[in-house]
Amino acid sequence: MKKTILSLFIITLISFFTAKASADVFVTEESDGYHDGGVRSKRLTSHTLSSSTTWITNEIVKQDYGKIKDISDAIPLEVTWDIRVNSVGGDIDTAIKVGRLLREREARVIVDKDTVCASACVFILAGAVVRGINLQGRVGIHRPYYPNDRATSIKRQKKQQKILEQKIKVFLSGMNISELLYDAMLRVSPGEIEILSRKELEQYGLGINDPYWDDAQDTIEATKYGLSKRKYFEKRAQARKICSEAIGAHKITIDQFLNHKCDDNILRGLPPGYAQGSR
């Protein structure tokens, strides 16, 4: 069956809020819903960015790295960058390059409900420091291969696979992902996709945040509140319990709960529903 090659769709939405400080930022936008390969830009002024979301869908091809790099360069480093994926894979080398770029930017990758991240897309997921996989999102693997493969003997296939294995294992190690993921890939025919269970996702490290990034964030938060990490963990657990009870008793608003304002109050030694300026 002739395989139809679809270009990567990239749409970037920028969430912004008006702030006292102004910043010139580039926002990549899309004009009429999804469109093939076109990413346009416009300049916004007198706004400061809080987060940016980029969608990566369909097959990943070599040209896509340049598009994603351009988007990355246009987003200030202090802005949270979310990547939402829905792709069955594509070019391995490109996906690995994108994964490394996302790690440099400490980006977050999300697999939404009823979407899939399979084959080479898994390397994009691996590059994220925060990985959000919906319970109804799917992550699938199979043995890596080159679409234009010309190795027609066992010896040549093994040699080719060894080169791929080294490249992939070096990447996974750099992303703090278990090399067991590659071993699992090897057992699945390239013509098939094996959907990973929640247990497997956690076992391989794909279903959790990067552990060293998590540790660094905890240290940053503990320092912000003037606490040791041990004390921070204790107070954070206490805050979550108090805030859960407070929302149930209607002592705080949904906004205070979802935006962690209640947690912040408890960590600062304030009442759960405290609002700045209240008496």
3-state helix, strand, coil in the chain (%, to 5): 40, 20, 40
* Banded pLDDT at 239 (limits 50, 70, 90): confident
134, pLDDT greater than 90: yes
In whole angstroms, give the CA distance from residue 9 to residue 57: 5
In whole angstroms, give the CA distance from residue 223 to residue 11: 37
214, pLDDT greater than 80: yes
Instruction: Find the DSSP H helices in the chain.
Output: 64-74, 92-104, 121-127, 154-174, 180-186, 198-204, 211-224, 229-248, 254-258, 261-267
> What pLDDT is stored for residue 176 in this prediction?
96
In whole angstroms, give the CA distance from residue 54 to residue 42: 16
What is the value of pTM for the model shown?
A: 0.77
Radius of gyration of the chain (CA): 22
> What pLDDT is stored for residue 28 in this prediction?
39
pLDDT tens-place string over residues 220-233 = 999 999 999 999 99
> What pLDDT is stored for residue 106 in this prediction?
95
> What pLDDT is stored for residue 69 in this prediction?
93
The stretch 226-253 carries a mean pLDDT of: 88
Q: Can you name the residues that pair with 41 across neighbouring β-strands? A: 28
Q: What is the DSSP letter of 90?
A: B
Computed over every residue of the chain, the mean pLDDT equals 80
> What pLDDT is stored for residue 257 in this prediction?
66
Tokens of 220: 């940053």
More confident residue, 266 or 174: 174
